[in-house]
Each structure stands twice: as structure tokens, then as C-alpha cells.
Amino acid sequence: MAKRAAIVGAGVGGLTTALRLLRNGWEVDVYEKNMRAGGRLGRIEGGGFKFDLGPTIVLMPDVFYRLFADLGRRLEDYLELRPLEPNYRLHFADGSYLDSTSNLQRMMQEIERLAPSDLDGFMRYLAWMQRRYRVARYDFIEEPMLTMKELVDLRKLWKLYGLHTVQTMNRDVRRFIKDPRLQTALTFQSLYIGIDPFEAPAIYNVIGYMELSYSGVWYCKGGYYSVTEALVRLLEEMGGRLHLGTPVETVEVEGGRAVGVRVRGQLQSADAVVVGADFPLAAKRLVPESARPDYSDARIDKMEQSCSAFMMYLGVDQSYRHADVHNVYFSRDFQGFTDDVFRRKVLPNDPSFYVHLPNLIDDSVAPPGKQGIYVLVPVPNKTAPIDWAKEKKPFRDAMIQRLQRVGFRDLEKHLEFEAIYTPDTWEASLGLAEGAAFGVMPRLRQSAYWRPSLKSKTVSGLYFVGASTHPGGGVPIVMTGARTIERIMSEDYPGYLPNAHQTSKDLPTWSDRRHLAHDFAAFTEQG
């Protein structure tokens, strides 16, 4: 008889875990409290405009190809991924800019134009990061980290020590790069996971390295939400059941084992329960405190959350073409800005922000002749004494003025659609503790073994997946966590996950693009 799993939450972690269980012959029910799947990988629509709710930058396409190949499908039959060139444009306050690219020759030209004295240091930095990337991915990201033994392995500890992992991202880059603009360009990516680059462990510099070398930045036609749509389509094709608008009330635990979930007062029995909702609030709301002595309410409340995001989804009746698909506009004092967000916990007067213009390469996300403008501003989470009911409108107006100053002329006059998300929205709509848009902050003491585990240490048959659990945030990283859960469950349910360690070897390579990973191999061989 087939085993049955109950998945709480139809975010990318829950959906990916469901698909991996379905391929092993399990019966799977996915319960989602909202009327749309996706979680942070959701969508906002209005007036003919389509906006990705959260993530927009597609990294690590091999993880997506791996999932579809493992399921016996071709990714191309479900998604259209396009490589971007350049990856994005970085706009500095002094009027200079940098087109970050995965093409080695072009990137060298960009460095020579912006900071010529740092070209040699940049190449040495890439050599350093190539080693660190392999350690990060294969010794930590793709390992379960269920026990302290996995972490204190002497071989791993020696690698971490030798790669200066415990120093900060910014200090790590400064050993190679002198120009402050280039230092910022190589470290701001920590904001993707909600942590300050002046405090984040240096291991997170692998994010920028992956953009530059591993496989570059990609765009998914229709927006990142197309990934959610593809996962839901796969779920239905494989016989899974998706229950939208169906909140789970509790995870039922009997005799130290998860036996199902309670929905609308009724027990839905299951052999395993996977909680894909964000860990801090989901654990407190769904799992009895007596069943999680390692994560009591008090301990969860002490966990440090990432920053939040002030989001603007703007539809306009014209098309601005002075910028790129992905853009970052830096404040004059970038460290002062991060101090405002992470330490002083006040609204920044001179914020750095991100602007996404997908219709420059995709005519399916806005009506003809019109444009959707996605704006993300990192802001403090709800531990800050900010009353968003009062501050939302003034901050929105200030950002409109800032956007007009960087080239979006007469923006206010051209608005046809507008939606705003604040930390209050993130907490209310997606159950993110303190409105932390990126989940638990990935400080060193909240990473790897010290991050909420993929598997409950006290309740058999209970698992957790998502940005706040190991291995961390970011769509492909969460998908990697789902693959690790499949491996863990193969040991917990002998004989019931026969495909857990079978992965397709028929995967595409990235040799058809000029990425630093390929050009750089020759560079390192020459010393």
C-alpha cells in the first residue's frame, strides 16, 4: 500500500517536496491557506499587468533541470528560460554604472572602464571564489546537517578555516578590490537573503560568484511565477492533490509521531507531514510546543529575522527604456544605508533599491505599449518601531520622487496600476515572522546545523522545508532542501522511496554560453 504525505503550504519548497514524493509512488495532498499557490513565488495581477510577488532573478538553472529530469520530464516542455546579457546594471550615486556580466571578456572590459587598477585583484578574487563555491555547495548546501557530527567533520572545518569563511563578505572582498563601487557590486547580493554584507559571513559571496561564473542570470518567460505554474501542472499530472484556500489548523502528533494534519476540524491522516510554511510562525501555530522542546516558543521568539522589503508594483501607460531588465540603484553611503536597515532600524533617507523591468524582454507581462515596474527597497523588519499605517504613504511618495530622479520621468502622471507591500503585508499574507521577507537571518549561528532542521529531532515523520530552514533562502536553494528531504526520508521509510538516490545524468551543460566558469578554467590552469 502506498504511503501518504500531507504537505503544509504550496510554496516552492512544499511543491518540490510533493513532486519528489509522487515520483516514489506516494499519495500526496498539498494544503494551501491562500487561493493561489506559490508563497513568495507568487503573482500580483491587475489592469492587464503581471508582477512577480517576490523573487525575480533566476540563478542555478541546473537545479531546475535536475528536478524535471528526475521526474522524467523535459524542462523545455514547461518553462522557457532565457540567459540575460548583461546580468543586470548597477547604478552608482556618482553617475557611473557597471554592467555585470557572465562573459569574461566583457566583464574585464567593464572592470577596466570602472576601476582599472582592480582588474588583477578581480581575477584573483574569482580564483579564490571558485574554491569557496565548491565547498559551500557540496559540503554544506547539499548536505542534510542533521547532526553536529556533519558540521564538525575536521575536513570541512579545515576548508572553512582555510577559505576565511568566518570573516564578513565586505572584508573578504576588500582583500582583493580597492574601489568602493566594485566592493559593493560584489557583495550587495547578500540582500537577496536579507542580511547585511558588512556582517554576513564571507561564504555568502558565492551568490555573486554564481551570477558571474557558474551559469549566470536567467529570465523565465512570463515571470518567475511561471515556475510555480509549472510545478502545479506537474503535481496534477502526477496525481497529487492541491487544496487551495484550505488552511491547516494543527499538525497532529501521537506517541512522538506525526500522524496527519487537522483541516476544518477533521484529521487528515498521513504517514509523513512536511511543513512548507515559513518555520518560525508555522512551528508555533501548527506544532504543539510539547512536541518541539528544541524549538520552544521562547527560543523561536529569540531567533533573529532577516530584513523586510517595501515593495511597489507599478503599472504605467508608457515604456521606460533607459534602464536594463534588472537594475540596482545604490545610495551615496551604502554602508550608512545598511546601518539604517539592520542596526539603527529606521527608514533610510537615502535608500538603495532594485528595479525590475521584465517587459523589456517579455511582452506577456504588460499590455501593448505599457510597462510594469517592480521596485524593492530593503527596510527594517517589524522589530523596528515603525508604524507602517502612517509611514506607508510618505515613504511611497518619497520613492516615486526618487524613481523620477533616476530616469522614470513623470512617473506619477503615467500610473495606471499600483500595489504596495510593507512588512505588515508580508506577515499577514504569508505568515512571515516580524514581516521578514527573507525568513530567518542566515547569520553564522543561524546557518547549517544551527538553522532549523529539515527533519524534526523530536517528532518522527515530521519535516520542514523553506527559506528559514537549512540550507537557506533562494528558490534553487529551497529546491535543493526538498531533494535532501527525499534522501532523508528514504532512510526513515526503508523501501518506500526507491528513487531517492536516482537522478538523471542526461542534463544540459552550460558550454554553449561564454561564462566565466569556462573561460576561467583556462585562466586558473595558467596560474
Please check whether residue 382 lies inside any domain of the structure. yes
Q: What's the whole-number mean pLDDT along residues 357-386?
A: 98
Model-level pTM? 0.94
Domain edge (last residue) among 415, 433, 451? 433
Read off the pLDDT band of 161 (50, 70, 90). Answer: low
Distance CA 313, CA 47 (A): 12
C-alpha cell at 424: 505588515
Q: How does 301-333 read in b/e, with b if 16+ C-beta sit within 10 Å?
A: eebebbbbbbbbbbbbeeebeebbbbbbbbbee
Same domain assignment for residues 447 and 357? no
Residue 330: helix, strand or coil by DSSP? coil
- State the pLDDT confidence band at 319, using cuts at 50, 70 and 90: very high
Please tell me the least confidently modeled range out of 18-22, 143-147, 310-314: 143-147
Predicted confidence at residue 135, as pLDDT, reads 81
- Pick from 246, 194, 200: which is nearest to 435 by CA? 194
299 shares its domain with 446 = yes
Would you list the DSSP string of 3-31?
-EEEEE--BHHHHHHHHHHHTTT-EEEEE
Give 503's pLDDT tier (boundaries 50, 70, 90): confident
Please provide the average confidence, as pLDDT, over all residues in the chain.
93
Q: Is residue 465 in a domain?
A: yes
Mean pLDDT of 46-71: 96
Who wins on pLDDT, 135 or 219? 219
What pLDDT shows up at residue 138? 80
pLDDT given at position 297: 97
Strand order in the sheet with 462-464: 241-243, 27-31, 4-8, 272-275, 462-464
Indicate if 398 and 287 belong to the same structural domain.
no
311 lies in the same domain as 427: yes
Into how many domains does the chain fold?
Answer: 3
Same domain, 260 and 144: no
In this prediction, residues 370-376 reach a mean pLDDT of: 98
- Per-residue pLDDT at 348 exceeds 60: yes
Q: Looking at the structure, tell me whether residues 109 and 176 fall in a common domain.
A: yes
pLDDT average, residue stretch 120-144: 87
Q: How confident is the model at residue 157 (pLDDT cuts 50, 70, 90)?
A: low
Same domain, 205 and 230: no
Residue 270, domain extent: 4-43+222-303+442-492
Catalytic residue among 32, 143, 211, 486: 211
Report pLDDT for 313.
98
Assess whether 244 and 136 both reside in one domain: no
Q: Are 138 and 178 in the same domain?
A: yes
- pLDDT of 3 strictly over 80: yes
- Inter-residue contact 29 to 5 (CB < 8 Å): yes
Residue 276 falls inside a structural domain:
yes
Residue with cell 595558467: 526
Q: Is residue 57 part of a domain?
A: no
Task: Tell whether 508 is covered by a domain.
Answer: no
Maximum distance among all alpha carbons in the chain? 67
pLDDT of residue 358: 98
Mean pLDDT of 68-91: 96
Predicted pLDDT of residue 137: 84
Both 385 and 454 in one domain: the answer is no
Cβ–Cβ < 8 Å for 278, 439: yes
The DSSP code for 500 is: T
- Same domain assignment for residues 125 and 156: yes
pLDDT at 322 over 70: yes
Structure confidence at residue 143 (pLDDT): 80
Count Cα atoms within 13 angstroms, Cβ side, for 195. Answer: 30
Any domain includes 34:
yes
Question: Is 427 designated active site?
Answer: no
Q: Residue 163's pLDDT band (boundaries 50, 70, 90)?
A: low
- Helices 180-187 and 104-114 pack at an angle, to 10 degrees, of 140
Q: What is the mean pLDDT of residues 197-225?
A: 93
pLDDT score of 272 more than 90? yes
